């Protein structure tokens, strides 16, 4: 499995374009199975493919705070990506073996996150469909799309996310919060730093890579984004900036 | 007549925004939320098929768009019943079908 460490940080439009480019290129056999770890710079919000932007985020707050936002090609909910407190992963690979079944594939791939979190001392658990929780509070959410027999799954891992900003940026239906037994988004989420007091990001990154390697029984090698990946992403990125895409629902 | 409704399942939310017009016909419908559907465009095809429906049979047939899809976080039967409920509700309010 190819691993790309892309932790310097780029804007949300570029990061979403790179993920989509990786999926296209994996489908076409132009790249190996690839795990990418990355950050958003500046901080940003992504919403799920089926979400209505006005139901999912506080647009006035995002605009006033200079927080970029766009829509993902994957389903699921809105996510605040804190440039200084969150690592995002994406992985592209064929939907084969244990990954054929969609629910099981979430379990397998989120298992990498569970492994990484346990490795650094947290009692993490996978909660279907797509969450990883610590002490019942969400620390990671993932989302995947499938095209032509290949999976793109990406997800967040909050190690020191500013949860006050997260709460101001995102909107959750009252019904959803009630179903989770909480009164606010803030009560529903947790970061590694909150639980452990401090975070060794290098160790976390290492544990994540080890987690995916074990979950997929794959040896890893390190690489960088190719010129082809950058070219394809450059052709896609305007979609993620466009009003038409962001406001399509 | 505009209506909306939220359905919950597995902690996911599905919101139906619907506009119903003359003869209790669906003029516009958006199914949104934090659920998952594979392939994703099956939901857009369903919305297209639902537009113009004014009875349960039409809604039932529109939902065949999802027959080969995998939808997670949505109970498709609940969703279908909810949409049929909008039409029934319209007919009970406007027995002649007018709005």
User: For chain A, which domains are there?
Assistant: 2-246 (3.30.930.10)
Q: How many helices (H) and strands (E) does chain B have?
A: 3, 5
pLDDT at A220: 98
Confidence at A186, pLDDT banded by 50, 70, 90? confident
Share of chain A above pLDDT 70, in %: 100
**Which run of H or E residues covers position A131?**
strand A131-134
Q: Do B38 and A49 touch (CB under 8 A)?
A: no
Measure A50 CA to nearest chain B CA, in Å: 5
Residue A139: which residues within 8 A CB-CB, separation 6 or more? Answer: A117, A122, A124, A132, A133, A157, A158, A189, A190, A191, A192
Radius of gyration of chain B (CA): 13
Is some CB atom of chain B closer than 8 A to the CB atom of A141? no
pLDDT at A219: 98
**Which run of H or E residues covers position A192?**
helix A192-196
Q: What is the mean pLDDT of residues B60-84?
A: 94
Whether the per-residue pLDDT at A176 is higher than 80: the answer is no
Is some CB atom of chain A closer than 8 A to the CB atom of B63? no
- Cα distance between residue B72 and residue B55, in whole Å: 26
Measure B76 CA to nearest chain A CA, in Å: 15
Q: Give ipTM to 2 decimals.
A: 0.94
| Contacts of the segment A192-200: beta carbons below 8 A, 24+ positions apart | A192/A117, A192/A120, A192/A122, A192/A139, A192/A157, A192/A158, A192/A159, A192/A160, A193/A85, A193/A159, A193/A160, A194/A163, A195/A122, A195/A134, A195/A135, A196/A120, A196/A121, A196/A122, A199/A159, A199/A160, A200/A120
Is some CB atom of chain B closer than 8 A to the CB atom of A149? no
Share of chain B above pLDDT 90, in %: 72
Strand segments, DSSP code E, in B1-99 are 2-9, 12-20, 26-33, 36-38, 70-72
The domains found in chain B, sorted by start residue, are 2-92 (3.30.390.50)
Interface test with B, best of A57, A75, A144 (most B CBs within 10 A): A75
Is some CB atom of chain B closer than 8 A to the CB atom of A179? yes
Q: Within the 219-238 window of chain A, which residues sit less than 8 Å (CB to CB) from chain B?
A: none
pLDDT at B28: 96
Q: Do A145 and B33 touch (CB under 8 A)?
A: no
Q: Do A129 and B15 touch (CB under 8 A)?
A: no
CB contacts < 8 A, A to B, total: 69
**Which chain B residues are within 8 Å of A74, Cβ to Cβ?**
36
Q: Within the 37-56 window of chain A, which residues sit less than 8 Å (CB to CB) from chain B?
A: 48-52, 55-56
Residue of A74, A147, A176 with shortest CB distance to B13: A176
pLDDT at B20: 94
Whether the per-residue pLDDT at B11 is higher than 70: the answer is yes
Residue of B6, B32, B39 with shortest CB distance to A50: B32
Share of chain B above pLDDT 70, in %: 90
**Which chain B residues are within 8 Å of A102, Cβ to Cβ?**
36, 38, 70, 72
pLDDT at B97: 63
CA distances from A27 to A105, A150, B42, B58 (A): 18, 6, 21, 37
**Which chain A residues are within 8 Å of B70, Cβ to Cβ?**
102
Q: What is the pLDDT of residues B21-31, one digit of tens each?
A: 999 999 999 99
- Cα distance between residue B61 and residue B38, in whole Å: 19
Is some CB atom of chain A closer than 8 A to the CB atom of B34? yes
CA distances from A234 to A32, A195, A229, A240, B98 (A): 20, 39, 8, 11, 51
Q: How many helices (H) and strands (E) does chain A have?
A: 11, 11
């Amino acid at each position: 499995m190819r691993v790309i460490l892309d932790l310097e940080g780029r804007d949300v439009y570029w990061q979403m374009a790179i993920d989509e480019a990786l999926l296209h290129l994996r489908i076409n056999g132009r790249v190996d199975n690839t795990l990418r770890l990355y950050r958003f710079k500046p901080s940003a919000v992504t919403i799920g493919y089926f979400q209505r932007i006005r139901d999912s985020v506080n647009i006035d707050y995002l605009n006033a705070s200079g927080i970029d936002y766009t829509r993902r090609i994957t389903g699921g909910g809105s996510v605040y990506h804190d440039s200084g407190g969150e690592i995002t992963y994406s992985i592209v690979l064929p939907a084969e073996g244990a990954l054929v079944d969609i629910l099981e594939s979430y379990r397998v791939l989120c298992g990498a996150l569970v492994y990484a979190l346990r490795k650094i001392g947290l009692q993490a658990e996978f909660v279907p469909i797509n969450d990883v929780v610590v002490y019942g509070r969400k620390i990671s959410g993932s989302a995947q799309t499938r095209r032509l027999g290949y999976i793109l799954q990406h997800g967040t891992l909050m190690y020191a996310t500013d949860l006050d900003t997260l709460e101001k940026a995102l909107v959750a239906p009252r019904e959803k919060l009630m179903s989770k037994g909480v009164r606010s988004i803030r009560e529903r989420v947790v970061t590694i730093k909150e639980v452990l007091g401090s975070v060794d990001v290098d160790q976390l990154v290492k544990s994540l890579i080890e987690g995916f390697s074990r979950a997929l029984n794959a040896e890893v090698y390190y690489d960088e984004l190719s010129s082809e990946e950058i070219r394809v992403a450059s052709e896609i990125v305007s979609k993620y900036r466009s009003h038409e895409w962001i406001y399509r629902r | 007549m505009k209506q909306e409704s939220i359905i919950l399942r597995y902690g996911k939310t599905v919101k139906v925004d619907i506009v119903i017009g003359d003869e209790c016909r669906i003029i516009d419908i958006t199914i949104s939320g934090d659920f998952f559907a594979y392939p994703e465009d099956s939901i857009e095809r369903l919305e297209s098929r639902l537009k113009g429906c004014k009875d349960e049979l039409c809604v039932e047939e529109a939902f065949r768009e999802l027959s080969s899809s995998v939808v997670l976080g949505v109970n498709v039967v609940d969703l279908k019943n909810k949409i049929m409920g909008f039409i029934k509700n319209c007919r009970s309010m406007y027995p002649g079908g007018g709005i």
